[in-house]
Amino acid sequence: MKKDLFSVLYSLDKKIWGDQIATNRYLATVTLICCVLFGVILGSGKFLNGLFDWSLRVSIVAIIASTIMLIGFNIIESIIAAKTAKIATLRSLMITGILISGLVVGFVGSVVALAILTVVITIYLAILLFGALLGGGSGGSGGRKKWKLSNGDEVTEEKGLCGESYYTGSSGTSYDTNDGGNTFYEK
Amino acid sequence: MEQTLPLSKSVRVRQNIAAGLLVATNLFWLVAAPLQLVGVNLMAIPFAELIVGLVFAASWLLLCTVASNKAVRVASIIIIACCLIKLVMPLIANVVCASLPDLSEMDRMNIIGKINLIFYMIRAIFMVYAYSLILNSGSEIDENDRSWIVVLIVFMAQSIFLFRWLLAGTMLVWSIWIVAYYILMLIAEFRLAKCAAFTGNYDSGIVPKGAYSPLNRYFAGVLIAAVLVSALLMLIAHYREAIENIF
């Protein structure tokens, strides 16, 4: 039997009930994907609204109603496609559970994904800000190079906004170099 | 798709043209739905709905000429009639409103909305009957094609669900479903046009007993789901504010 992403539930039907049911290859899985996407829209809408007060105009009622409609479609298909009433009932219950789970997984998944993304972005921005505050330029103080000159002055390299280098001695003297720090001369 | 008899060239041509026209009508709706999200309304094109409706009716007229038996031919005629009545519905609604004096614009829109709602419900029942007639016609339709015709029956049930206005809350949600809906409709109508029920070789004698009866599992499925879904949607409509407050 040919398997693909869009026929996962069809394969499940065939695995459980075999020839006792003749469902469409794609209908159930496509409705499941729709439910997951509804959950994602609801989750991201609520998350962005709660955190940043952005309104995505997501209606919980419309999402629940749409999910119920999709469950209804699958109930019709179950009744028509199953050879016995017992299989039709069991399949309807199974699909109802799967579609509701899809909605919940989409909701929780999108909230978790957005929360992780927010934390990662916040940490990255915090590192950038912290580095800029400590070093006055990008990269922070950890990567800064230092040289001890023969006159006793200690020269420190600082990076400018565009990546250009500035060399300042501990005495306050500004230096420059043409050979990457082998020899320095006063500006 | 296995067909037991080789098709004559004329039947094959008519079948292919009908399938192509059905695909074209669904492609139009498939493109129109997402475009609405970005503010482009294809329905604003003059006579767009009329042209798409006539193309749909023409494709079924072609299919009617290659029906394999009487039940399939009757089903095709029902579908053509439903389509043509749908096309004149705006006219009927306007005539009804014109016969009622002293109506405000709001009342007029409400009446037109209700007439359309009732018409689409009746149309859906007839379409379900027509599709179930094709399935019960005794044609040797293979299991895969049958499952696609069942998809058409399932989608027709949408118009029978009450409180459907609850669905129209979030444009993005509706658009996701509409795109999935028209992709499945496109495949389903293509498979229907190419199935064994439309192979020509008209035979008026092979319709099984009880094929015309609406008391079948297709109607049972639609009826049970319609009652369940309508009851749940009614509950949601009743507790709408409470649900919105919880979330």
A81-129 pLDDT tens trace: 999 999 999 999 999 999 999 999 999 999 999 999 999 999 999 888 8
Helix (H), strand (E) at residue A175: strand A174-176
User: Are A25 and B228 in contact (CB < 8 Å)?
Assistant: no
Residue B184 forms part of a structural domain: yes
Length of chain B: 247
Average pLDDT for A11-15: 93
pLDDT digits (tens, 9 = 90+) for A40-52: 999 988 888 877 7
Residue B1 forms part of a structural domain: no
- Mapped onto helix, strand or coil, the DSSP state of residue B77 is helix
Residue B183 forms part of a structural domain: yes
Tell me: pLDDT of B135 over 60: yes
| Termini Cα distance of chain A | 78
User: Are A25 and B147 in contact (CB < 8 Å)?
Assistant: yes
pLDDT band at B145 (very low <50, low <70, confident <90, very high): very high
Q: Is B241 on the interface with A (CB under 8 A)?
A: no
Number of folded domains in chain B?
Answer: 1
The H-assigned helical ranges of chain B are: 9-37, 48-65, 70-99, 105-135, 143-156, 171-193, 217-238, 240-246
Contact (CB, 8 A) for B137 and B197:
yes
DSSP A120-154: HHHHHHHHHHHHHHHHSSTT-STT--EEE-TTS-E
CA dihedral A49, A51, A52, A54 (to 10 degrees): -10
Q: What is the DSSP letter of A158?
A: E
Domain of B83, in residue numbers: 9-201+210-246
Among residues A96, A59, A68, A83, the alpha carbon closest in space to that of B227 is found at A68
Tokens encoding A119: 């934390």
Q: Is A58 on the interface with B (CB under 8 A)?
A: yes
Tell me: pLDDT of B246 over 80: no
* Cα(A73)–Cα(B169) distance, integer angstroms: 20
Residue B190 forms part of a structural domain: yes
Average pLDDT for B174-188: 90
Residue B71 forms part of a structural domain: yes
Q: Is A41 on the interface with B (CB under 8 A)?
A: yes
pLDDT digits (tens, 9 = 90+) for B96-106: 888 877 778 78
User: Are A77 and B221 in contact (CB < 8 Å)?
Assistant: yes
The C-alpha of A54 sits at a distance from chain B's nearest C-alpha, in angstroms, of 15
Residue B2 forms part of a structural domain: no
Residue located via tokens 């297709």: B218
To 5 degrees, how large is the angle CA B20–CA B124–CA B55?
25
Mean pLDDT rounded to a whole number for chain A: 85
Tell me what pLDDT residue B49 has: 86
